[in-house]
């Protein structure tokens, strides 16, 4: 806080730079915080920059903005009110005046006055300096696209909500599972000097990637502090703090079949459209749909004969759906298997493949889905037993 009521501190700051920082830090200000102070932002001037901070005790963000002062001061300010006022003041530059118990913002003749609080109750952000992993934005983009969608959301099983990242001299491996489906992505070009393994809550990884994209940052550095059980992501002018989830990741390798007896190749967009229609009538049946290959001839787009894939869903009260898609390759043997359609839609919505290859053994064993654009990607899905 300011030392006395007569002292004033004036700074000027670019409104767009301030809004950019606020977009990051404001998104995690909790609406029903565990502590009242967490509904505020920490406003700290140091070393010629403004440091804005927010946290919900599990996830925290600090973002830096250039200012016109070398003074040092720290206050807590109402988060939502501050952002809304900055957003409403249409001026390239804002003048901010700090008094002992109040902050004033001035622009184009308008003056906003909001109370400030003592920052002593605000949680401290720890020093985390041990470098763990460095990821390029391109690598993060692949992990976000091909892996994160399969992580769990059930907080009763927190280890399944994490993303496993393994780094060594042979490359990077990213893994996610919720217990019913599994994604594995190998990125050979992302090599590490030493063997590193880290568990990152998947939704927080997605937030970090979003900040990296919006900030146009090409590289993210991850630091860890084992004793504090926290990570720090260095993302340009922002630092993101994440509390680690403790536990041992499940032995995912054991559920990946070594070989498959049946392979089906289909157009990804046609498959997506058929599944969306089948999902409408699958809601009353626990979202279960059935797919099966059929050697009955089907006229495809080129007026040639081809085998087909049939997608079915049924509802006792709503009716039934049957869709057909030409297969792009011959089939060695027919297969019939049932899935939760949401597991397939999540995959197609995130990966957006042009061509999908599906591999099976039988109707009760895990199936694998691969895409044409990423050779090192595996998506394993557990089927559902359906009583005929």
Q: Which two tokens stand for residue 133?
A: 């992993």
Tokens representing residue 365 in the block: 């064993």
| pTM (two decimals) | 0.90
Q: What is the average per-residue pLDDT within 285-300?
A: 78
Q: Residues 18, 43: contact at Cβ < 8 Å? A: no
- Mean residue pLDDT across the chain: 91
| Average pLDDT over every residue of 197-203 | 93
- Cβ-based neighbour number of residue 28 at 10 Å: 18
Q: Is 55 helix (H, G, I), strand (E, B) or coil?
A: strand
Give CA–CA dist 161/165, Å, rounded: 13
For residue 294, the surrounding DSSP H or E stretch is strand 288-299
Spatial distance between the Cα atoms of 222 and 216, rounded to a whole number of angstroms:
17
Strand-strand pairing, 219-225 and 181-187:
unpaired
Inform me whether the pLDDT recorded for 144 exceeds 50.
Answer: yes
CB 25 within 8 A of CB 52: yes
Concatenated DSSP letters of 97-136: EE-SSEEEEEETTEEEEEE-B-GGGSPPPPP--EEEEEEE
Per-residue confidence (pLDDT) for residue 6, from 0 to 100: 38
pLDDT tens per residue, range 171-188: 999 999 999 999 999 999
Unique residue bearing structure tokens 């606020």: 22
Per-residue tokens: 342: 């949401």
Planar angle of CA 335, 338, 339, nearest 5 degrees: 130
Residues 6+ apart with CB under 8 A from 13: 50, 65, 66, 67, 68, 93, 94, 96
How distant, in Å, are the alpha carbons of 70, 77, 242, 307 from that of 22?
A: 21, 12, 19, 55
Out of 26-30, 105-109, 331-335, 340-344, the most confident range is 340-344
Q: What stretch of H or E contains 25?
A: helix 15-26
Using pLDDT thresholds of 50, 70 and 90, give the confidence band for residue 291.
Answer: very high
Whether the per-residue pLDDT at 155 is higher than 80: the answer is yes
b/e map 336-346, b = 16+ CB within 10 Å: bbbbbbebbbb
C-alpha distance from residue 58 to each of 150, 167, 205, 323, 371 (Å): 22, 25, 13, 45, 35
Task: Compute the average pLDDT of residues 97-120.
Answer: 92
Q: Quickly state the pLDDT bin for 343 (edges 50, 70, 90).
A: very high
Q: What is the token pair recorded at 121?
A: 């109750």
Question: Strand, helix or coil at 363?
Answer: coil
């Amino acid at each position: 806080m300011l030392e006395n009521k007569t002292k004033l501190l004036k700074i000027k700051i670019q409104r767009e730079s301030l809004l950019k920082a606020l977009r990051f830090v404001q998104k995690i200000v909790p609406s029903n915080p565990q502590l009242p102070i967490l509904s505020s932002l920490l406003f700290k001037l140091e070393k010629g920059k403004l440091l804005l901070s927010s946290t919900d005790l599990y996830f925290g963000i600090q973002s830096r903005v250039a200012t016109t002062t070398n003074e040092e001061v720290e206050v807590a300010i109402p988060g939502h009110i501050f952002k809304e006022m900055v957003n409403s003041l249409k001026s390239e530059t804002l003048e901010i005046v700090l008094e002992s118990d109040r902050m004033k913002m001035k622009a184009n003749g308008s003056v906003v006055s909001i109370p400030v609080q003592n920052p002593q109750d605000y949680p401290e952000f720890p020093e985390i300096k041990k470098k763990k992993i460095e990821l390029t934005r391109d690598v993060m983009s692949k992990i976000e696209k091909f892996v994160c969608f399969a992580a769990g959301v059930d907080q009763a099983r927190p280890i399944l909500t994490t993303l496993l990242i393994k780094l060594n001299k042979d490359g990077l491996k990213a893994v996610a599972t919720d217990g019913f489906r599994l994604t594995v992505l190998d990125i050979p070009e992302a090599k590490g000097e030493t063997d590193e393994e880290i568990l990152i809550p998947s939704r927080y990884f997605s937030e970090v990637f979003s900040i990296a994209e919006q900030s146009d940052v090409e590289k993210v550095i991850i630091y860890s502090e084992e004793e504090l059980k926290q990570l720090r992501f260095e993302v340009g002018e922002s630092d993101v703090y994440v509390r680690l989830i403790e536990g041992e990741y499940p032995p995912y390798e054991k559920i990946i079949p070594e070989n498959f007896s049946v392979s089906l190749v289909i157009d990804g967009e046609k498959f997506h459209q058929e599944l969306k229609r089948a999902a409408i009538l699958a809601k009353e049946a626990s979202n279960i749909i059935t797919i099966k290959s059929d050697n009955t001839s089907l006229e495809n787009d080129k007026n040639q004969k081809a085998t087909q894939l049939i997608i079915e869903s049924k509802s006792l009260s709503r009716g039934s759906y049957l869709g057909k898609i030409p297969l792009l390759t011959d089939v060695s043997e027919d297969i019939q298997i049932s899935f939760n359609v949401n597991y397939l839609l999540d995959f197609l919505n995130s990966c957006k493949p042009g061509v999908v290859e599906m591999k099976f053994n039988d109707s009760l064993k895990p199936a694998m889905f691969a895409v044409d654009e990423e050779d090192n990607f595996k998506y394993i899905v557990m089927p559902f037993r359906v009583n005929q």
